[in-house]
Amino acid sequence: MKHLYLKPAWNLPGKPFRHTWKSIGNIDQFKWFVRGDVQSQLALARSELGMTHVRAIGMFASELKILDYSPVEATLPEKQKRINYSVVDYCIDSILDAGLKPVLIPCFMPEEFADGNRKCWGATISPPRDLGKWSAFLREVLNHFQSRYGKAEMRSWLYEIWNEPNLEEYFWAGSRESWFRFWETTRQSIKQTDSAFRVCGPSTARADWIEEFLRFSRQNHCLPDILTTHVYNTDAKSRKYIPFEGAECDRAEGSPHFLSGVIRGVRKLTDSLGFSGEIHWNEWGRTSRPYDPYRETPVEAAYIIKTMAEVSQEADQFSLWCLSDVYDQCGYTPSEFCNHYGMLTLHSLRKPAYKAHQLLNRLGTARIACTYATSEAHLEIV
C-alpha cells in the first residue's frame, strides 16, 4: 500500500478562494414567483446555500398582465390597454420577502410593441417596432419601481437584457444586428433611470457572440457592467467554434472537461479584448437536456464539484440551471424524481446538485500551497 503525505505551507499567506457558485439562483420563469412553494424554496436556498439574488425570464410575458384592460374599460366599445403592475409587483415583493434581490430581465416583448407575432411559450419574441416607444415603456416601468421600492434598494438588483438572443428559433425573432441595437437602446433606458444600476448581457447560449458583442459595445459606448453567458457540457455537440482553452480531445462530445475548456477560453478572450467587468455564467450545467437519467444520481454532484474545482476562480459567478423542478418549458414536472433540471424536487426534496452546493459552501476562503512529503510536486489545499 502506498501512502501519500502532504505538507501544507501553513506559514505562508494563502491565495483568495471565492465562493463563486452561491450568490445567484435560477427559477424557470417569472410567473412562478406567485407560488407559495417557490417562495419557500427561495427562502430555503437563501438560508442553506447563501443565495442572494434570483433570476427568471418572462417578466413581461402575457401571463403577467403588464399591459391589459382594467375592469372599468373591459366592456367599453373603445378601450385601451394600460400598464398594470399588480402581478409583477407581487412577484418582486415575494422575492424581497424571501430575503433575496431580483435579477430583472425585461422580456418578453409585449405584443403591443412587437414587430411580428413569433412566440415562445405563448410570449412574443419579436423585436420592437419602435425602439423609442419600447424605451419610453421601460422607463415608465422602472420609474414605478423606484416609487415603490426606492432607488437605494434597486441599486442592489441586477438588470439583464433578454435571454439567449442568439437562439433565433426560440428566443429572438430577429438578427444579431437588430439585437445589438436593442441592447444599446435598452441599456441606455436603464442607465438613464440610474447610472448606478448594473446591466448584464448578452446572456447568449453556448458562449456565443462574445467577441462581436464586446466590440460593438465598446464602439458604441454601451459596454455591460457584467458580461453574462451560458454553457452546458453537451454544447460540444452543436458548436465547434465556441471559445476554448484546453486539450483538443476535450472539445469532443462526451468529454467531461468541455465546459471547463469553454470557461477558460472565454476568460482568455475577454482578457485579450480588455474587458475588466465581472463575468457571470448565469446558466451552466452538465447537460442542457430537460430529461437526463444521471441528473438525480451522484454523477451530477461529482460533476459540479469537479467543475468548480477546475474553473470556479475563472469568473465571478456560476449559476447552475436551475433551482426548482417547478418548471414547464419542456412539459410540466409531474412528480418527484423525474430527472428534470431542478436542484430541488417539485416538493422541495434536496437533490444531489443541491447537496453538492452545500458541500462546496463548507470550503474555506483561502488556498494553501503544499508539497508531497516525497517530492516537490505542487498541490493546493482549500
* Cβ partners under 8 Å of residue 108, min gap 6: 57, 58, 60, 61, 120, 123, 124, 125
Confidence of residue 381 (pLDDT cuts 50, 70, 90): very low
Angle at 221 between CA 219 and CA 227, to 5 degrees: 95
Over the stretch 52-92, which tens digit does the pLDDT of each residue have? Answer: 999 999 999 989 999 988 887 767 777 788 999 999 999 99
How many other C-beta atoms can be found within 10 angstroms of the C-beta atom of residue 155? Answer: 12
Q: Quick one: 221 and 356 in the same domain?
A: yes
pLDDT tens digits for 282-333?
Answer: 999 999 998 999 999 999 999 999 999 999 999 999 999 999 999 988 888 8
Residues 375, 335, single domain; the answer is no
Q: What is the DSSP letter of 116?
A: S
Query: Which residue in the block uniquely carries the three cell numbers 438572443?
Result: 165
Q: What is the pLDDT of residue 373?
A: 63
Q: Are residues 146 and 290 in the same domain?
A: yes
For residue 248, what is the domain's CATH number?
A: 3.20.20.80
pLDDT tens track for 257-293? 999 999 999 999 999 999 999 999 999 999 999 899 9
Mark whether 42 and 10 lie in a shared domain: no
Query: How many domains does one find in the chain?
Result: 2
pTM of the model: 0.93
Q: Shortest CA distance to 322 belongs to which of 299, 298, 345, 302?
A: 345
> Residues 8, 89: one domain?
no
Same domain, 316 and 218: yes
How sure is the predictor about 1, in pLDDT bands with cuts at 50, 70 and 90?
low
Domain residue limits at 13: 1-17+367-382
**Pairing outcome for strands 6-8 and 366-372:** antiparallel
pLDDT band at 6 (very low <50, low <70, confident <90, very high): confident
